Chains A and B, each alone.
Chain A
Amino acid sequence: MPQNEYIEESIRRHGRRLDYEERKRKRAAREAHSAATFAKTVHGLRAKLYNKKRHAEKIQMKKTIKQHEEKQATKKDAEAVPEGAVPTYLLDREGQQRAKILSNMIKQKRKEKAGKWTVPLPKVRGITEDEMFKVIKTGKHKTKQWKRMITKPTFVGEGFTRKPPKYERFIRPMALRYKKANVTHPELKATFCLPIISVKKNPQSPLYTSLGVLTKGTVVEVNVSELGLVTTSGKVVWGKYAQITNNPENDGCINAVLLV
């Protein structure tokens, strides 16, 4: 019975088939052609997937090439060595003019210029009442139409108690209530799942704000005590605003970006 490394053992004992190397070489040489035929003939969903993959690969390739070029760019800058008498500890230094750092700096500047008080999503799509509310017919003959069900995700505060259901005008379904949001810190470039404290402002209407509706562009207050942020005066910050960047009703989760 074959056991342990029997394949390698067999190859070691008896060798490979005689045209093994030849076949391998030919297959490698043929690979570009077969890939091309495949790319030409594939269609439908598979084509979509394949093209996406190729696209990503090509981008990656270009990026690496660029990186190599940037690396080389550093070496060229030998002239930047300061002329004249130089202290010994600076003698073997070249000019620190790396293209990469430069471009980073430019990006940083642009960002700062963009202003501190603007929110990431300045404009939102208007949402009609039709879309927001579903009319619920009540009464024995289902003729009364004053009840509304909110069809978007909502935030309901911890201490909330319902009115007697009979008189409740706005129903916020349990399934659509959210307590946590995935908040991205734009500078740390990291995302945390933080509890929501309150809804600060829903840009659609003050009514939605008071109902705690979470739509794209809504500003919510999140509990950032986990992040350990400190104010300039040295206090620990625990509540911070964040703006929702996705459509929670379509995604089933809340993504937000911290406003700093």
Chain B
Amino acid sequence: MALYNFKKIQPVPSASDFLDIVLSKTQRKTPTVIHKQYKIGRIRQFYMRKVKFTQDSFEDKLKAMLEEFPKIDDIHPFYADLMNVLYDKDHYKLALSQINKARSLIEEVAKEYVRLLKFGDSLYRCKQLKRSALGRMATIMKRQKNSLGYLEEVRQHLARLPSIDPNTRTLLICGYPNVGKSSFMNKITRANVDVQPYAFTTKSLFVGHMDYKYLRWQVIDTPGILDRPLEQMNTIEMQSVTALAHLRTCVLYFMDLSGQCGYSVADQIQLYHNIKPLFANKPTFIVINKIDIARSEDLSEEEQVKLREISEKENVQILQLSCQTDEGVIDVKNTACDKLLAARVEVKMKSQKINDVINRIHLSEPQPRDDIPRLPFIPEAAIGRQPYDKTDPKRRKLERDIEEENGGPGVYNVDHQKLYILQNDEWKYDAIPEIMDGKNVADFIDPDIAEKLEALEREEDKLEAEGFYESDEEIMDSEEEEFKRAADEAREKKKLIVQAHRTNKMMKNRPVMPRTATTKSLEEIERKLGEFGIDASAIRTRSQTRSRKRKFDESVGDAIVREESRARSVTPVNIEDRKIAKMKKRSEKIHKTAQRQANLYARAGESDRKILMKKPKHLYSNKSTVGKRDRR
């Protein structure tokens, strides 16, 4: 609802506080330790970061400030004018523009010094440059002392402005000072504005809220206006004029005919004529206050004529009330509200927007399709029934009445037994035994319970037989089953392959046999390919043809003869075997001794030269030298 709420603006710190905030933030959030033996690039970067960071935080804070303060050109003209009256538009804009200027100056300084820091050749020089960069930023900020002070004041005042919604239903009370404006305001709202018997008690706008016709209404109390040209009016009066000029409201012009306020009736009428242009296109009323002292009838003839003239010429209604005796207060409020509501509706009807709404409204009135009357249905019993009347002594007795008769709530116990539905009404209040004739009564409440149970079991059996409980998943046709099995197999196979690959990978640093060096038998190949479902018969035939080509029996005949003629040298098998076994043993031994060193250092193999930890901490950390202890 509160469209214009200036309470959220962050406090503006004073110039010195501003500096403290920004510089301590730099100190906290950037690194603080630097040494001259560091690389110059690092030193430069260290100080550049400080300069940049400071500029950034200045930028952040100033920017937030500039964004938060309302821009006079963007806000509702009422607020723009009010701010102009209260804070002087030029001053306000100047202050903001100075802050903006400071922001850009700081940015320039930061840029310049970052550039200079790039040529810093020592820690000292870099540090001095940083110092002067921050110093210059601080000087720029210190010059904004007055702007910041002014803006802080404006902020505090803005936050205390009443949050007036310029577009809602509003009653605006205006008039000479001391005529009882605030008194009326206090009567119809809870605003609690100060009321005193001297002029200019109210020095600024006050807003209050009230309800009428389930709507929320805004009431604005204004400071009194004196009858003088606009240029001579002071800030207090100008606020009223601003509200009158920019808010589309119902204006209640208050008058005091008794002279208690210190201004004559003629003066008040004159003021009305002077500020009349501000009431144009607004529902206006002249409200005569303090009728407990003086009514319009008590006035002199000439003044009465003047008053009547106004009401007739300008079509302004004259209302009368007294805040002292409450006479006419509610009437005034209701009349004013009704008129404003009517005026607002009228304005809306005239505007373009109404078409959009009216197009959507449709009232349907169905045509009778035949002559059959379709009357509402009323049950027979309801027709003759007497309408319930609380005051009638012969009325129906309700459960509540019975309760009252029997000691009221908390004492009376509700009788549920009377609602029992039994064959004989006399049985209603009979006591129900638990055991009768040595038998539990509960067992006999349902005489055919055994039969029912049996029926249930029968049904269950039947369902089971029909296969009702077998889950859907298990019902699969053979094709699907086959498919699933194949998938499982494939998955299993994949897992095995991955495992084999992983074990192979463990042989990281070992010399690897080239694939061409390993021999695989034809059977093995066939088996493997068969596992993958590939036909290996082609390979077999190929190898067969080859081996066949090289067969001796297909070559020239005499070669065989010569072969047979040669004496064969046959080695005894057992000696050979023994030799091989011996050699094997020896080679194994060599292999083992060769591995010993590698195993000791946890090497994967000969070529594993990895150094896992170059200087293990525990061996190098203490100060003991050789010969201090016998262990390391």
Q: For residue A110, give the distance in angstroms from its CB to the closest CB of chain B.
A: 32
Residue of A nearest to B122 (CB): A131
Across the interface, B121 reaches (CB within 8 A) one of A1, A151, A252, A253, namely A151
Task: Check A251 for interface membership: any CB of B closer than 8 A.
Answer: yes
Q: Which residue of A lies closest to B24 (CB)?
A: A45
**Is A115 part of the contact surface with B, judged by Cβ < 8 Å?**
no
Q: Say which residue of B132, B160, B204 sits within 8 Å of A253 (CB atoms).
A: B132
Query: Which of A3, A9, A45, A173 contacts B161, CB < 8 Å?
Result: A3
Q: Nearest chain B CB to A235's CB is how many angstroms away? A: 37
Instruction: Give how many A-B residue pairs fall within 8 Å (CB-CB).
Output: 52
Do residues B116 and A175 form an inter-chain contact, with CB atoms below 8 A?
yes
Hey, which chain B residues are within 8 Å of A2, CB to CB?
160
CB pair B119 A3 closer than 8 Å: no
The range of chain B's interface size is 20 to 34
Q: Which residues does chain B contribute within 8 Å of A175, judged by CB atoms?
A: 115-116, 118-119
Q: Given the interface contacts A3-B207, A4-B206, does A252 sit within 8 Å of B116 by beta carbon?
A: yes
What residues of chain B lie closer than 8 Å to A250, measured between beta carbons? 124-125, 128-129, 132
Tell me whether A134 is interfacial, beta carbon within 8 Å: yes
* Partner among B115, B119, B163, B206 whose Cβ is within 8 Å of the Cβ of A151: B119
Nearest-neighbour CB distance to chain B for A155, whole angstroms, equals 16
Select which of B133, B160, B161, B163 is within 8 A of A252 by beta carbon: B133
Contact residues in B for A173 (Cβ distance below 8 Å): 119
A87, B258: Cα distance in complex, Å:
70
Residue A5 CB within 8 A of the other chain: yes
Chain A proximity of B574: nearest CB distance (Å): 77
The answer for the CA separation of A217 and B178 in the assembled complex, in Å, is 75
User: Using a CB-CB cutoff of 8 Å, which residues 201-229 of chain B contact chain A?
Assistant: 203-207
**What separation, in Å, do the CA atoms of A247 and B163 have in the docked complex?**
57
B53 at the interface (CB under 8 A from A): no
Question: Which A residues lie within 8 Å of B370 (CB)?
Answer: none
**Within the complex, what minimum Cβ distance (angstroms) separates A78 from chain B?**
44
Q: Is A249 an interface residue (CB 8 A)?
A: yes
| Residue pair B160, A176 in contact (C-beta under 8 Å) | no
Chain A residues with Cβ below 8 Å from B163 are 1, 3
Closest Cβ of chain B to A41, distance in Å, is 19
Name, among A1, A5, A6, A247, the residue most crowded by chain B CB atoms within 10 Å (CB to CB): A1
Chain A contacts for B162, CB-based, 8 A: 1, 3-4
Q: Which residue of A lies closest to B2 (CB)?
A: A1
Provide the residues of chain A in CB contact with B124, threshold 8 Å.
Answer: 250
Residues of A within 8 A of B112 (CB): 252
Known: A5-B160, A252-B129. A176 touches B116 (CB 8 A): yes
- Partner among B121, B132, B136, B160 whose Cβ is within 8 Å of the Cβ of A3: B160
The answer to whether residues A176 and B119 also contact, given A250-B128, A250-B132, A252-B129 and a CB cut-off of 8 A, is yes
**Do residues A134 and B121 form an inter-chain contact, with CB atoms below 8 A?**
yes
**B113 in the interface (beta carbon within 8 A):** yes
| Chain A residue at minimum C-beta to C-beta distance from B202 | A4
Do A4 and B204 contact each other (CB < 8 Å), given the known contacts A176-B119, A251-B132, A252-B112?
A: yes
Residues of A within 8 A of B206 (CB): 3-4
* B356 lies within 8 A of chain A by Cβ: no
**Does B443 lie at the interface of the complex (its beta carbon under 8 Å from any beta carbon of A)?**
no
Measured in the bound complex, the distance between the Cα atoms of B209 and A236 in whole Å is 73
CA distance A132 to B194 in the complex (A): 76
A-contact bits for B158-171, CB 8 A (1 contact / 0 none): 00111100000000
- 1/0 per residue, CB under 8 A from B, across A112-133: the answer is 0000000000000000000100
List residues of chain A with CB within 8 A of the CB of B128.
247, 250-251
How far, in whole Å, are A176 and B125 apart by their CA atoms in the complex?
14
Contacts A5-B160, A6-B160, A151-B121 known; A252 to B204 CB distance under 8 Å? no
Q: Mark A124-159, 1 if CB is under 8 A from B, else 0.
A: 000000010010000000000000000100000000
Q: Give the complex CA separation of A158 and B384 in angstroms.
A: 116
Q: Which 8 residue pairs of A and B lie closest in terms of their CB atoms, listed nearest first?
A: A250-B128, A3-B162, A251-B132, A175-B115, A4-B204, A252-B116, A252-B132, A151-B121
29 contacts between A and B (CB under 8 A): A1-B163, A2-B160, A3-B206, A3-B207, A4-B160, A4-B204, A4-B205, A4-B206, A5-B160, A5-B204, A6-B160, A131-B121, A134-B121, A151-B121, A173-B119, A175-B116, A175-B118, A175-B119, A247-B128, A249-B125, A250-B125, A250-B128, A250-B132, A251-B128, A252-B113, A252-B116, A252-B132, A253-B132, A253-B136
Given contacts A175-B116, A176-B119, A250-B124, 19 further A-B contacts (CB under 8 A): A3-B160, A4-B162, A4-B206, A5-B160, A5-B204, A151-B121, A175-B119, A247-B128, A249-B125, A250-B125, A250-B129, A251-B129, A251-B132, A252-B112, A252-B116, A252-B129, A252-B132, A253-B132, A253-B136
